[in-house]
Amino acid sequence: MLVKKENIKSGFSKDELKVFGSFKKPHDIQLFLNNITYNPEYVTRSPKLVLKHKVANCFEGALFAAAALRMLGYKPLIVDMMAKNDDDHVIAIFKKYDLFGAVAKSNTTVLRFREPVYRTVRELVMSYFDFYFNTLGEKSLISYSNPVDLAKFDKYNWMTTENDLEFIGDYLFEIHHTKIFPKTARPLNYADKELVDLCFSGSITKGLFVPKKK
């Protein structure tokens, strides 16, 4: 899914472009996101402001990754994953050799990078399913969106603006999501305690969703 480079560097400083230029492959973007602090605040800063503040939440991380992937020649695509009794998750996706992979920022250790080995978006999303659970261990992923090309928001300068980008989140909330399984599906098992403990071992507590107990 490599595309012809556009004039996408406008609005970034030389130092900021140097950071983007250090990314030679998608996994480099993931390592950058892993090394910056998770942002527990309910804000949505542009990729430029992520570089400035060196913090990002899940949504900000996906926007940053999409911008960085765009610099590498990929389309700036994100997929929204909705959850029950848990936070939603947003990933930036890319396609290599006709297979999908993903880059993501997460307050957990298991909802981040995916190698480009998945034939469809559904296959990619399902790779997260067994690792997508709340702090009680309830598996919570229920649906996902089609890929959204962020180029549709270029008129708002989403890559460099000082303004909050929550309106993109509103858009993701409104678009169609494909259900993972029907409501009539049998109850799911809880994730193993060892996996739950590992998943949240390095989390920023303030940024964790507090699930309702049944």
In the chain (214 residues long), the average pLDDT of successive 10-residue segments reads 66 96 98 96 96 97 98 97 96 97 96 98 98 96 97 97 97 96 82 94 92 87
- Which amino acid would we find at residue 139? K
Where does residue 99 fall: left (phi above 0), alpha (psi -120 to 50 degrees), or beta otherwise? beta
- ∠ Cα 82 36 100 (to 5°): 45
Please check whether residue 67 is in contact with residue 23, taking contact to mean a CB–CB distance below 8 angstroms.
no
Whether residue 116 is contained in a domain is answered as yes
Whether residue 148 is contained in a domain is answered as yes
- ∠ Cα 5 157 58 (to 5°): 90
Query: CA–CA separation, 44 vs 57, rounded Å?
Result: 8
- Which amino acid would we find at residue 30? Q
- The distance in angstroms from the start CA to the end CA of the chain is 44
Position 203 scores a pLDDT of 93
Query: CA–CA separation, 100 vs 98, rounded Å?
Result: 7
Residue 156 gets which letter from DSSP? G
Whether residue 44 is contained in a domain is answered as yes
Whether residue 145 is contained in a domain is answered as yes
Whether residue 9 is contained in a domain is answered as no
Supply the range of the domain harboring residue 100.
14-207
- For residue 164, count other CB atoms closer than 10 A to its CB: 14
Whether residue 8 is contained in a domain is answered as no
Residue 122 — φ and ψ, nearest 5°?
-60, -45
Position 3 scores a pLDDT of 44
3-state secondary structure (DSSP) of residue 160? coil
51-71 per-position pLDDT tens digit? 999 999 999 999 999 999 999
The structural domain count of the chain equals 1
* 128 Cα distance to chain centroid: 12
Whether residue 63 is contained in a domain is answered as yes
3-state secondary structure (DSSP) of residue 82? strand
Helices 58-71 and 14-21 pack at an angle, to 10 degrees, of 80
> DSSP characters for 126-144?
HHHHTT-B-TT--B-EEEE
Position 6 scores a pLDDT of 55
Please check whether residue 149 is in contact with residue 76, taking contact to mean a CB–CB distance below 8 angstroms.
yes
Position 184 scores a pLDDT of 66
Whether residue 214 is contained in a domain is answered as no
pTM: 0.94
Position 4 scores a pLDDT of 46
